[in-house]
Chains A and B, each alone.
Chain A
């Protein structure tokens, strides 16, 4: 996941201090992706220079400075969420991350984000199928590769369908109260302070 976009996603829930952002970022990645505080401030500095975030006060970077996302920052985040990841090669975690983030960011309709990716993946599958129809007919290795790719993309689309249905169901019936409730705490680590 891109660090600048992760910070923008965290800030879209409300203004935050640098240290707070670091803590939430690490929590949001299940503590497997650690971030030093210098990296956080460097990234915030760049985001501020590009007009994607703004801070109170004009002093140097430091614990007293609070950042908030600008409308341009919101647009950059929304654009990133809709930018298809490079699914012509294996990493699909980026897509999972986008859907997770889309489900958390205020003002983003995760179903619409899912649809963008679903159509993109279908177009990719159509292209691979054209290969299957043409060259791959007489080339067994290519046919196998094409099939592998089609099954992989098919699996991603099925996951999107399931995610779509799951999000719709979650929106229709809020989770039942009670201690046994749900994977929600883990998800919440993406965007909300513990």
Chain B
């Protein structure tokens, strides 16, 4: 079962999946040169849960993420975010959902160079029409939670790679975002900073966010509560929730 969400996240209905993919397929191109990127993928992610999607390149990982983020439509199947079906949703509502509910983290951070860390973090709220003082306060709170409040007035090119990604995660969770989608979020970082990024993403989940993290790196995937394996557009397996780490430290029986 899922880890209890500290503070409950204010959701009130933890049984509803934040993200639900049902029988999702995606093909590109026309017969006879059809490329099948996803084939009947079922995946549901609850509030507070961090799911890692692992698979070789070309397995459909990034397609899964863009469909979950409503940036692309599936060829068939259903996608629900916070219980709302994306199919048939008017473009305006869909854009609002993207701004208010979903946060994205990319390998190359995608911070706006002309804005400070605080302005970057507050940007999604400002774009959504939130009053600037309130947006800035929320941006600062997000920077604080990620341990980079001290960099609030700095510009991206003054920050280290690890700090930039912290600001990018702050931007992705700012306000009351429910779903975090991350594509190789620590691909550009050394292993210690990469682990920090995963730790921060996992902590964000423990505060109630649901996250899907795409990675090809088993050490990073292991931060997740659940690892699903993707191959040729199909989910081929997933870890069952492991027992606590205490089992690792008891002496093993000699054989």
Residues of A with Cβ closer than 8 Å to B? 86, 88-89, 115, 118-119, 121-135, 150-151, 153-154, 157-158, 161, 165
Contacts and interface: CB of A to CB of B under 8 A. Distances in A.
Given A126-B222, A126-B225, A127-B248, 11 more contacts: A88-B252, A89-B252, A119-B238, A122-B221, A127-B242, A127-B244, A130-B242, A131-B245, A131-B248, A153-B218, A154-B217
B236 interface: yes
B195 interface: yes
B4 to A, nearest CB: 15
B147 to A, nearest CB: 14
A10 B244 CA distance: 40
A124 B54 CA distance: 16
B222 A150 contact: yes
B219 A150 contact: yes
Contact of A122 (B56, B225, B227, B244): B227
B255 A130 contact: no
5 contacts: A119-B237, A122-B54, A126-B223, A127-B248, A157-B218
A88 to B, nearest CB: 6
Contacts of B222: 122, 125-126, 128-129, 150
Contacts of A157: 218
The winner among B54, B223, B224, B245 for most chain A CB atoms within 10 A is B245
A123 B239 contact: yes
Given A132-B195, A161-B56, A125 B252 contact: no
Contacts of A132: 195
A161 B223 CA distance: 20
Interface string B212-255: 00000111011111010100000011111011110111001001
B126 to A, nearest CB: 33
A89 B56 CA distance: 28
Interface of B: 54, 56, 195, 199, 202, 217-219, 221-225, 227, 229, 236-240, 242-245, 247-249, 252, 255
Nearest to A157: B218
Given A126-B222, A128-B222, A154-B218, A86 B239 contact: no
B236 A115 contact: yes
A130 B237 contact: no
B194 to A, nearest CB: 12
B248 A88 contact: yes
A123 B243 CA distance: 9
Nearest to A129: B222
B56 A133 contact: no
Contacts of A130: 242, 244-245
A119 B229 contact: yes
B252 A86 contact: yes
B248 A126 contact: no
Contacts of B237: 115, 118-119
Contacts of B219: 125, 129, 150-151, 154
Contact of A127 (B56, B202, B245, B252): B245
A133 B239 contact: no
A125 B222 CA distance: 6
A165 B224 CA distance: 25
Nearest to B255: A86
Nearest to B247: A127
A26 B255 CA distance: 25
A89 B253 CA distance: 11
A158 B199 CA distance: 23
A129 B223 contact: yes
